[in-house]
């Protein structure tokens, strides 16, 4: 039985750890040939794991917010494998949780450069390559529930992810009639390299059981759970899904904040 990404070529950024690494291993198991990018040397370990599992992967240490590096990823996919079908713009940075009055323009600029300009650069270069080839394709951007409403991240991070959600919508329209689809995934709290300090702090304080307790599933996510959604969007199974922001957050974003009363009742 053929995999869902058989004969497809995929770029994944942020592939050194977390959701990116999980997606790389999953995409490869479904038949995709991969070009993996990350600022960290850990991307080479991800590629090694893919190859050891019988897949094909080319790893590059790149800056996902730098145009020349994103263009290199696309060029590498075409030169190494002859085509490009999927681009998962997953790389991002947190930028901390400093308040509006504490952030500097330099911090805002860097967060927007990586988290928002990076995905736009992927749409620009991967989208054009897919459109020019005339075979269609799928572009997936990692946004966040922090981009849906406040309360899940710092101001700059949240603003950058809100931008990614709108970018997916606008890009889907801009790529009209190319059969190139653009969608965003909005993870809730997920155990990744970026969130490791949160998980380690909770472990040290003995309160790991409280992580993710605000969502109806009452837990945090694992990277593979996000990778499975990315796989769906990358595959032909999602051929009519376009311009959407899909929350994968255990139900967190399905509710407005509530105050839990001592009686067990809730009030808006």
Q: What is the pLDDT of residue 257?
A: 67
Percent of the chain with pLDDT over 90: 76
Give pLDDT tens digits for 31-78: 999 999 999 999 999 999 999 999 999 999 999 999 999 999 999 999
Residue range 254-267, pLDDT digits in tens: 887 655 444 444 33
Q: What is the largest CA-CA distance in the chain?
A: 64
Residue 220: the pLDDT is 84
Instruction: Tell me the pTM.
Output: 0.91
9-33 per-position pLDDT tens digit: 999 999 999 999 999 999 999 999 9
CATH number for the domain running over 9-192+221-249 = 3.40.50.720
What average pLDDT does range 90-99 have in this prediction?
A: 86
Identify the three-state secondary structure at position 36: strand
pLDDT bracket for residue 153 (50, 70, 90): confident
Q: What is the pLDDT of residues 159-182, one digit of tens each?
A: 999 999 999 999 999 999 999 999
Residue 251 phi, psi dihedral angles, 5° rounding: 95, 5
Active-site positions read 157
Give the per-residue pLDDT at 49. Answer: 98
Question: Across the chain, what does the average pLDDT equal?
Answer: 90
Cβ–Cβ under 8 Å, residues 249 and 148:
no
In angstroms, the Cα distances linking 45 to 51, 61, 62, 155, 206 are 10, 12, 15, 33, 31
The reported pLDDT for the residue numbered 260 is 47
CB-count exposure of residue 122 (10 Å: 0-12, 13-18, 19+)? buried
Q: Say how far residue 47 (Cα) sits from the centre of its chain.
A: 18
Q: What is the pLDDT of residue 162?
A: 98
Query: How large is the average pLDDT for residues 231-254?
Result: 96
């Amino acid at each position: 039985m053929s995999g869902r990404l058989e004969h497809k070529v995929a770029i994944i950024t942020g592939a050194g750890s977390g959701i990116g690494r999980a997606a790389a291993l999953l995409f490869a198991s479904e038949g995709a040939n991969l070009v993996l990018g990350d600022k960290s040397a850990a991307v080479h370990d991800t590629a090694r794991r893919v190859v050891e599992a019988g897949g094909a992967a080319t790893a590059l240490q790149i800056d996902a917010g730098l145009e020349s590096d994103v263009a290199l990823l696309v060029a590498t996919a075409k030169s190494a494998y002859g085509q490009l079908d999927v681009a998962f713009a997953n790389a991002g940075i947190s930028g901390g949780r400093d308040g509006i009055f504490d952030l500097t323009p330099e911090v805002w600029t860097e967060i927007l450069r990586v988290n928002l300009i990076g995905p736009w650069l992927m749409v620009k270069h991967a989208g054009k390559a897919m459109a020019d080839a005339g075979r269609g394709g799928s572009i997936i951007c990692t946004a966040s529930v922090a981009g849906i409403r406040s309360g899940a991240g710092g101001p700059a991070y949240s603003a950058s992810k809100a931008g990614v959600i709108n970018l997916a919508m606008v890009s889907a329209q801009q790529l009209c009639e190319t059969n190139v689809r653009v969608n965003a995934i909005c993870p809730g709290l997920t155990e990744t390299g970026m969130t490791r300090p949160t998980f380690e702090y909770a472990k040290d304080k003995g309160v790991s059981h409280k992580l993710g307790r605000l969502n109806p599933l009452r837990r945090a996510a694992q990277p593979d759970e996000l990778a499975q959604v990315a796989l769906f969007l990358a595959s032909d199974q999602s051929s009519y899904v376009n311009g959407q922001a899909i929350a994968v957050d255990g139900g967190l974003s399905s509710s407005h904040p509530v105050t839990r009363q001592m009686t067990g009742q809730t009030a808006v």
